[in-house]
């Protein structure tokens, strides 16, 4: 048999050129590959093979005197008697910024209306807006200050101080409303289906569930090392390859016993990491509490508009201009009548499969929610 050496040389040349091209692409795109692929592989390997955050917890534990710098702020606005003498099912903190006046007004007139909740749902839910300080003299009208729902401390209100805002919530509950059965934290662009949530929490409360922490769970999430990202975390701040499990900061709920444990954890942990939901995960890992997934707590995504979604919805993210419309549609008395019964269940399963099992609804309700 004779070899065609010219053909061999040509094939080898193609191989060399292809290899060089692939290596060039990899070198150019390595940072992106490392951020989106390699870091996730490392993170998942650590999370599912090692699954121990003891060293993380120990490294972030600091003396109480040093930890006090993250909570030792003065109240500029406070309402210490808001919960006194009442059986509070839920203490709901809304993370907001001083300039978001219209968002707060919209929440007060829709899902955060305490009077509506008390009269229509028959339970007491206390809604409190938490915010930091601004450098300007005045951003909130005086009438709003007297509404009894603004809690403000004198740290600068900014993205990099969200962890301070989180600590503020658990400390306020500990000192002002320790008897509340549940604590919820939510962004001010969240829609909360309050009738569904109240019914759900009443059931959980009746079963006396402990160590309860529910939301949209992130497992094995790696720190973002891309300096262009707002969520960038340096190796000096957090040197490990993965975060403890945590729920998306858009909205989650914990039981009162968990809230108390988190409060005590904040007294001994370094809170310099400014991603508040990650810090919540670190606190929970320290006290041995794990988050539970709920299919109808959204992450960063907005839920699709449909009665079959409304019957199960707990939270949906990204609602500002449409919050009144969603509130009216989602809580309409005829919603459950339209999709009730065996045929209604079949219809809604088909609808939710079509709506939720699509890639562009990423980070809202998962596809599996279609069957629940």
Where the chain has pLDDT below 70, the residues are: 1-52, 136-146, 360-362
Contact 192, 314 (CB under 8 A): yes
Confidence at residue 142, expressed as pLDDT on a 0 to 100 scale: 41
Same domain, 111 and 24: no
Same domain, 212 and 354: no
Between CA 55 and CA 90 the distance in angstroms is 34
- Report how far apart, in Å, the C-alpha atoms of 239 and of each of 233, 257, 278, 339 are: 9, 31, 14, 50
Confidence at residue 12, expressed as pLDDT on a 0 to 100 scale: 63
Between CA 227 and CA 126 the distance in angstroms is 39
Same domain, 91 and 188: yes
Q: How many helices (H) does the chain have, and how many strands (E)?
A: 15, 10
Counting other chains too, the contacts that 358-364 makes at CB distance below 8 Å and 24 or more residues apart are: 361/301, 361/304, 362/301, 363/216, 363/248, 363/298, 363/299, 363/300, 363/301, 364/298, 364/299, 364/300, 364/301, 364/302, 364/303, 364/304, 364/316, 364/317
Nearest to 185 by CA among 213, 205, 208: 213
> Is residue 300 a part of any domain in this protein?
no
Tens of pLDDT, residue by residue over 185-229, are: 999 999 999 999 999 999 999 999 999 999 999 998 999 999 999
Same domain, 21 and 102: no
Confidence at residue 299, expressed as pLDDT on a 0 to 100 scale: 85
Query: Which of 260, 293, 326 is where one domain is finished?
Result: 293
Confidence at residue 143, expressed as pLDDT on a 0 to 100 scale: 46
Between CA 66 and CA 268 the distance in angstroms is 8
Same domain, 235 and 362: no
User: Residue 5: which domain range?
Assistant: 1-51
Between CA 33 and CA 35 the distance in angstroms is 5
Q: Which tokens go with 126?
A: 């206390």
Q: pTM above the 0.75 mark?
A: yes
Terminal Cα distance for the chain, rounded: 67
Same domain, 138 and 223: yes
Same domain, 233 and 329: no
Same domain, 215 and 354: no
Q: Which tokens go with 221?
A: 């999430």
> Is residue 186 a part of any domain in this protein?
yes
Query: Which of 262, 293, 324 is where one domain is finished?
Result: 293
Same domain, 179 and 288: yes
Tens of pLDDT, residue by residue over 123-166, are: 999 999 999 998 765 545 444 555 789 999 999 999 999 999 99
Between CA 115 and CA 40 the distance in angstroms is 46
């Amino acid at each position: 048999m004779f070899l065609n050496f010219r053909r061999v040389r040509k094939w080898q040349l193609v191989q060399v050129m292809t290899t060089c091209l692939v290596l060039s692409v990899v070198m150019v795109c390595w940072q992106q590959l490392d951020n989106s692929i390699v870091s996730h592989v490392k993170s998942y390997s650590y999370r599912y093979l090692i699954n121990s955050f003891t060293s993380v917890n120990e490294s972030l534990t600091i003396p109480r005197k040093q930890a006090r710098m993250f909570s030792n702020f003065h109240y500029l606005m406070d309402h210490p008697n808001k919960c006194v003498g009442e059986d509070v099912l839920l203490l709901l903190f809304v993370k907001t910024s001083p300039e978001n006046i219209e968002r707060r007004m919209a929440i007060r007139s829709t899902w955060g209306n305490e009077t509506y909740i008390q009269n229509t749902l028959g339970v007491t839910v206390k809604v409190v807006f938490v915010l930091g300080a601004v450098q300007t003299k005045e951003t909130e009208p005086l009438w709003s200050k007297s509404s009894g729902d603004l809690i403000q401390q004198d740290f600068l209100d900014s993205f990099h101080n969200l962890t301070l805002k989180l600590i503020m919530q658990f400390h306020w509950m500990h000192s002002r409303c320790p008897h509340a059965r549940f604590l919820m934290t939510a962004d001010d662009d969240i829609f909360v289906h309050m009738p569904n949530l109240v019914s759900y929490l009443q059931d959980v409360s009746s079963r006396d569930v402990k160590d309860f922490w529910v939301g949209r769970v992130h497992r094995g999430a790696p720190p973002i090392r891309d300096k262009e990202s707002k969520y960038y975390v340096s190796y000096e701040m957090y040197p490990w390859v993965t975060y403890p499990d945590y729920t998306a900061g858009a909205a989650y709920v914990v039981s009162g016993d968990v809230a108390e444990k988190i409060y005590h954890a904040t007294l001994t942990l370094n809170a310099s990491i400014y991603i508040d939901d990650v810090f919540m995960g670190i606190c929970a890992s320290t006290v041995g509490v794990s988050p539970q997934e709920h299919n109808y707590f959204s992450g960063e995504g907005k839920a699709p508009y449909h009665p079959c979604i409304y019957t199960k919805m707990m939270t949906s993210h990204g609602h500002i201009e449409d919050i009144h419309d969603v509130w009216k549609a989602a809580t309409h008395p005829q919603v459950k009548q339209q999709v009730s019964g065996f045929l209604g269940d079949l219809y809604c399963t088909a609808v939710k499969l079509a709506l939720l099992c699509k890639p562009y609804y990423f980070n809202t309700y998962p596809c599996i929610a279609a069957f629940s």
